[in-house]
Amino acid sequence: MSTISTHNKPGTTMEPKHTPTRVTRVSGRKGGKKLGAGKGGFTAATADIHVLYQHSVQNVEAEIDFIDETFEAIRGRKGVSLREDFCGTGATACEWVRRRASNTAAGLDLDQPTLDWGAEHNVAPLSKDQQSRVVLHNRDVTRPGDATGMDIVLAMNFSYWILQERAQMVAYFRSVRDSLSDDGIFFLDFYGGHEAFQEMSEDRKIDEPDAEFTYVWDQHKYDPMSGRMQCYIHFEFLDGTKIKKAFSYEWRLWTLPEIREILDEAGFSNVTIYWEGADEEGDGNGEFEPVTEGEADPSFICYIAAEK
Ligand SMILES: C[S@@+](CC[C@H](N)C(=O)[O-])C[C@H]1O[C@@H](n2cnc3c(N)ncnc32)[C@H](O)[C@@H]1O
């Protein structure tokens, strides 16, 4: 299986497991000591939240490694067409068309400004040939229109949790199943563990050659009655400035058995969970393997492959 060493999800509750070397508690910056903007020159006044998101949340190369290898392992052939649901800026769809000259991709999202940003910053830098093989649609994932016949459909970074009623999730999963080719596979990610249910906030220092800032995952409110949760992503900069609530998520915190049952109900023939392995210190090693039983980790991420 592929290695996903910096597979950073919005839910930082699981990030110590995933990104042990990159998790740094930030302290002592609140006293007003002004520092420079750091690598990348990020400040609240100058930073682009989509650039910050791509640095701190996404690792599209590792994600596509996993998808590509797992599809081939299950189906014995390479996937060709991929649909990225809830695509945002379409970064994953763009990575798919970069991979092979035969690959095609469609991204679906409802937010036109975000799609426009993706067209300018992710699609435009591709070669002309790659650009001709990716399309970003302003479209509801539950009404995919002609974006069907796909080898692969992705619902990543837990975006499908925006669907909060069981009936909505069943309808979405059925629609995805209908959108797949005869041997297509639906890939989702999932996070859980008891820390996922806590109202808590965690920060992680992003320190890359061209970027230095702090990402804050805020599990702000959780209602055990409805399962609804309100989460935010905030960004903090070395000069002391902040962007609060850069991204906001109103989700239902689903459990893994619920999602497995709904995939079954939607008609998927085989659902496999890929659990992350651990290194010597017990931290996640970024390698995901199929399992039939999980572990009672305080926080975990797993992948789900649901076969048509
Ligand atoms: C967390 S972002 C996901 C970004 C990206 N896919 C990723 O992996 O990080 C969630 C996106 O889902 C979009 N969205 C929410 N409901 C949607 C729907 N019903 N159909 C299409 N897009 C939707 C939002 O506009 C937002 O851009």
- Its pTM stands at 0.90
Nearest-CA residue for atom 9 of ligand 1: 157
pLDDT at 39: 77
User: How high is the mean pLDDT of the chain?
Assistant: 89
Question: Is the pLDDT at 76 greater than 70, yes or no?
Answer: yes
Give residue ranges with CB within 6 A of ligand 1.
57-58, 86-88, 108-111, 114, 140-142, 156-157, 159, 162
Tokens of 21: 């070397």
**What tens digit of pLDDT does each residue of 147-165 get?**
999 999 999 999 999 999 9
Question: Is the pLDDT at 97 greater than 90, yes or no?
Answer: yes
Ligand 1 midpoint to CA 298 (Å): 26
Nearest alpha-carbon partner for 105 in 93, 115, 114: 93
pLDDT at 35: 58
Over residues 208-218, the mean pLDDT reads 94
Order the strands of the 242-252 sheet from edge to edge.
200-208, 211-222, 228-236, 242-252
Topology of the domain comprising 60-192+254-307: Rossmann fold (3.40.50)
- Most ligand 1 atoms within 8 A of CB, residue of 7, 109, 190 to mutate: 109
- Most ligand 1 atoms within 8 A of CB, residue of 159, 190, 250 to mutate: 159
Residue 40 phi/psi, 5° resolution? 90, -15
CA dihedral 95, 96, 97, 102 (to 10 degrees): 150
Query: What are the residue boundaries of the structural domains of the chain, listed by start?
Result: 60-192+254-307
Ligand 1 midpoint to CA 31 (Å): 37
Ligand 1 midpoint to CA 85 (Å): 7
Over residues 274-294, the mean pLDDT reads 90
Ligand 1 midpoint to CA 256 (Å): 20
- Whole-number percent of the chain with pLDDT over 70: 88
Q: Ligand 1: which atom is nearest the Cα of residue 141?
A: 20
Q: Give, as one character, the DSSP assignment of residue 120.
A: I
Ligand 1 midpoint to CA 107 (Å): 10
Tokens of 148: 């069907």
Q: Ligand 1: which atom is nearest the Cα of residue 63?
A: 8
Ligand 1 midpoint to CA 236 (Å): 23
**What tens digit of pLDDT does each residue of 238-267 get?**
999 999 999 999 999 999 999 999 999 999
pLDDT at 210: 87
Tell the burial category of 295 from Cβ atoms under 10 Å away from its Cβ (0-12, 13-18, 19+).
exposed
CA distances to 71, 90, 96, 183 from 101, in Å: 17, 18, 10, 21
Ligand 1 midpoint to CA 300 (Å): 22
